[in-house]
Amino acid sequence: MKYLKASILVLLIVACKDQNTEPMTYEYTNNLINETSPYLLQHAHNPVNWNPWNDAILDKAKSEKKLLLISVGYSACHWCHVMEHESFEDSLVAQVMNKNFINIKVDREERPDVDRVYMGAVQLMTGSGGWPMNVIALPDGRPVWGGTYFKKDQWLSALKQISELYENQPEKLYDYADKLEQGIKSLDVVELNTETPHFDLAFVAKAIKNWSQNFDHAFGGLNHVPKFMMPNNYHFLLRYAYQTNDQALQEYVNTTLKKMAYGGVFDQVGGGFSRYSVDAKWHIPHFEKMLYDNGQLVSLYADAYLISQNNLYKEIIESTLNYVKKEMTLENGAFSSSLDADSKTSEGELEEGAFYVWTKDELESLLKDDFELFSTYYNINNYGLWENKKYVLIRKDDDETIIKKFNITKSKLHAKVNAWKTILNENRNNRSKPRLDDKTITSWNAIMLKGYIDAYRVIQNPDYLVAAKKNAEFLINSQLREDGGLNHTYKNGSSKINGYLEDYATTMDAFIALYENTLNDKWLNHANSLMHYTFDHFFDATSSMFYFTSNEDKSLVSRGIEYQDNVIPASNSIIANCLFKLAHYFDNEHYATTATTMLNNVKPEMLEYPSSYSNWFNLMLNYTRPYFEVAIVGQEARSKIAKLNKTYFPNKLIAGSISENNMPLLKNRYNPDATLIYVCVNKACKLPINEVDEAVKLLKK
């Protein structure tokens, strides 16, 4: 990435001298009080004249020719809370902000379009990004300065200097805005690749070889900190290792999954994963728990369990979904967004991780005679010590090692572990809980819905299917509009904000998976309808890619095409994978051609940054090996699918029906006297068979 340089950037990072100005009493107007976003409501009583992002306030900035100050964060963000306390709650800081700027607070989860544009600008200006993100923009919305967290004196210095520059030499800011705008618009440009598409396993293998230079083989993940879990990375590597019988890569992926499960990044007491680890061994998390992490990790551990039958993975799935059910599921079947990193201490002060950490004295008092065994199991020692004599529970040894060391049976150890969790949960629930961001985001709900379906597919717990169906019905009944489009958020009975590409991509992906496990055509047809809508409102015919925002939305500095996978796969990579499947289901050549073209477009970048293209590599594998269409038709179709799902086959899709069906893969294949299985590749099918075991043999060939 090329970073723009400008003299003002150096000028603005200079910290100001001590401030002797006494704060003045003045009136202010904070316009966040009527918002539904928990993050915006957290700032509704700041002395800053905050406004939500909307057309009216943007027009006000233009008419008054005032600079925009755009501050972006989210409810579970620790450093967002710190900057709020240090700066936005301070009347002197508020004076400066209110006098010189139109101040806008943005919940990045509500408005990922705004976040993407200004995050791109900050990364161009500074070389890095994060939240809170603070940007100053011209009245027309084009950014001229930005960064992340600032201490109070740095913040005041920057605000005063940029205000003076705008007043005395505005042409400098406008010149810089012109250059920066060009940089922003170049970030997400994808050109049509006119070379003939060619995808082979050697290309994938070369990318993984490059990628593997950064593997941490001791603790898993990559060999740098902080460590993000990146579920789609390991989902792809898991598939590739299995399909190519790469034992070393399988061991690396399993090490990663085991160490994450053992680490403090996984809540050993209450279940569920935090967002990332600040250290190499997955010990100390950034304690916020995000719905999208947990949904994807359930899907990842489900496939890992299917392959390995490692009970640790099953426990992680069950514990995580139990956490989601208790803490993040609403009565209507929707899922909340996140739990805060901060919670109140016994003294009433907000502190990161306060809800999750323990002192040795607390644990000795609660566990009594079991403390010695517990302290070995969860490392109440230097290995598990965090700071201020507080511990974050972390495992180091597997159960077999503990069993041998303490001469205890497996059943007795498991009984004790369950008893410990009950004791600690009861105690912990008397503490002040982290704040819940209970707004519902369509894309994140679809990710969690997919997690439930994947868990059901592998474990066959009917409760998981019930939860998945209930959430899917919520999405259809509350988030799908009459015009066929989706809304992005839901809170207090109100569905709002026109959906982004991520909402359509993840929802289609989840609905396809729901169809494959229920055989209810409704979900597949909804996925197909959403794809039609996406072509109508997001498609860029020039590149054969999809814009992040709808053509019905007001244009920002850049419309943008999201194509690089991150913690959540890029919306374009999810769309391309969905197009590949829907092309098979509906015999749609346009879908097939578009998926191929999209993959070919990003191929030139995939070798250099393979970790940013893992979901694209997943699609590429579909072209390098036979991809199977498994059609199961007859009264016993569902039970046969359940049996087939006991074996890991990532290179297949399932179509099925218990009656006559005109879907291309099922047409004229129903027999009332038998349930038949058709194994096909590119519409060429083997003779129908009756037994799942025979189908498994064909798929393994």
CA distance linking residue 695 with residue 139, whole number of Å: 64
**pLDDT tens across 133-168, in order?**
999 999 999 999 999 999 999 999 999 999 999 999
Question: Can you give the pLDDT at residue 486?
Answer: 98
Rounded to whole angstroms, the Cα distance separating 208 from 211 reads 5
User: Amino acid letter at 195?
Assistant: E
Strands 350-352 and 342-344: antiparallel
pLDDT in tens, 317-341: 999 999 999 999 999 999 999 999 9
Pairing verdict, β 436-437 and 338-339: antiparallel
Which 8-state DSSP code applies to residue 346?
T
Render pLDDT for 230-281 as a digit per residue (tens, 0 to 9). 999 999 999 999 999 999 999 999 999 999 999 999 999 999 999 999 999 9
Three-class secondary structure of residue 676 per DSSP: strand
Q: Which residue in 525, 608, 617 sits closest to 570, CA to CA? A: 617
SS3 453: helix
Reference 297, options 239, 393, 232, 250; nearest CA is 232
Provide the greatest CA pair distance for the chain.
89
Going from the C-alpha of 317 to that of each of 306, 310, 374, 464, 506, the distances in angstroms are 12, 11, 23, 11, 20
Q: Write down all domains in the chain, each with its CATH number in brackets.
A: 7-187 (3.40.30.10), 201-223+299-336+438-624 (1.50.10.20), 356-430 (no CATH), 628-700 (3.40.30)
**CB distance 672 to 662 below 8 Å:** no
Average pLDDT over residues 543-562: 92
Structure token pair of residue 518: 């229920």
Task: Confirm if 30 and 49 have CB atoms less than 8 A apart.
Answer: yes
| Residues with Cβ within 8 Å of residue 402, at least 6 apart in sequence | 373, 376, 377, 408, 413
**DSSP characters for 14-38?**
SPPPPP-PPP-------TTTT---H
CB atoms under 10 Å from CB of 134, counted, come to: 23
Distance CA 272, CA 266 (A): 6
Give the pLDDT mean for 433-438: 95
CA distance 15 to 499: 40
Number of other residues whose CB lies within 10 A of the CB of residue 101? 22
Question: For position 555, what pLDDT does the model report?
Answer: 81
Report whether pLDDT(31) > 80: yes
Q: Are 576 and 545 in contact (CB under 8 A)?
A: no
- Strand pairing partners for 101? 67
Burial class of residue 503 (count of CB atoms within 10 Å of its CB; 0-12, 13-18, 19+): buried
What's the residue count for the chain? 701
In this predicted structure, which of 264-273, 521-530, 550-559, 656-665 has the lowest mean pLDDT?
550-559
Structure-token pair, residue 497: 């904000």
